[in-house]
Amino acid sequence: MINLVLFGPPGAGKGTQAERIVEKYNLHHISTGDVFRANISAETELGKLAKSYMDQGQLVPDEVTIKMLISEVDKNPEAAGFIFDGFPRTKPQAAALDEILESKGTSISSMLALDVEEDELKDRLKKRAEVSGRADDADPEVIQKRIDVYKKETAPVKDFYSEQGKFTSINGMGSIDEITNRLFEALDKLS
């Protein structure tokens, strides 16, 4: 069973690459951002709460996010493995993920972290804003906030996996196909 954390700053291409990995390796994809956006569309209480943070480029509080993640994992008992996209974004989330997987007799196999230069991130997010309809992509101030939050709160999660010998950095610059090939190469070493 492969359980993968696909990691990287906003605009690194996690969602795009996750779709390709899912196709080839038959993993169940959980994107916490997508789950929050589905809740916003459905106007649930969780959606209302998440929106108030997302619109500001802030993280949704750990307690809420972890609870949602557990429910997503529990909904898919037949999964051959998971790809976590956009989670964990804090060390407490990483610790919670270890606990959840341990309770199911499994663990994270690897964190693959996409490394992308900041100017390139901003370019990609600007282009994505034209098609995504995401409020948090449309506002340069919110984009900057998300990048700052990533650096301060999320980047340290790399150390969590590094200490477990599970961290792999992937060059996230270049074409989508080039990056996919680098990820597949890293994944083939795991299986």
Report the SS3 class of residue 143. helix
Name the residue whose CB lies closest to ligand AMP.
33
Q: Which amino acid is at 99?
A: E
x/- map, 76-105, ligand AMP, by CB under 6 A:
----------xx-x---x------------
C-alpha span between 83 and 138 (Å, rounded): 27
Q: How many CB atoms lie within 10 A of CB 177?
A: 9
Q: What's the closest the beta carbon of residue 145 comes to ligand AMP, in angstroms?
A: 9
> Has 146 been annotated as catalytic?
yes
Residue 86 DSSP symbol: S
> Has 182 been annotated as catalytic?
no
Among candidate residues 14, 37, 124, 182, the one labeled active-site is: 14
State which residue, 2 or 5, has the beta carbon closest to ligand AMP: 5
Q: What's the closest the beta carbon of residue 69 comes to ligand AMP, in angstroms?
A: 7
Question: DSSP states of 28-53 as a string?
Answer: EEEEHHHHHHHHHHTT-HHHHHHHHH
Among candidate residues 37, 51, 124, 146, the one labeled active-site is: 146
C-alpha span between 129 and 113 (Å, rounded): 23
Q: What's the closest the beta carbon of residue 118 comes to ligand AMP, in angstroms?
A: 16
Window 38 to 77, contacts with ligand AMP (CB under 6 A): 53-54, 57-60, 65
Question: DSSP states of 166-186 as a string?
Answer: -EEEEE--S-HHHHHHHHHHH
Convert 36-53 to b/e letters by CB count within 10 Å (16 or more is b): bbebbeeeeebbebbbeb
13 binding ligand AMP? (CB under 6 A): no
> Has 37 been annotated as catalytic?
no
State which residue, 57 or 172, has the beta carbon closest to ligand AMP: 57
Residue numbers at the binding site for ligand AMP (CB under 6 A): 10, 32-33, 36, 53-54, 57-60, 65, 86-87, 89, 93, 136, 146
Active site residues: 14, 89, 128, 134, 146
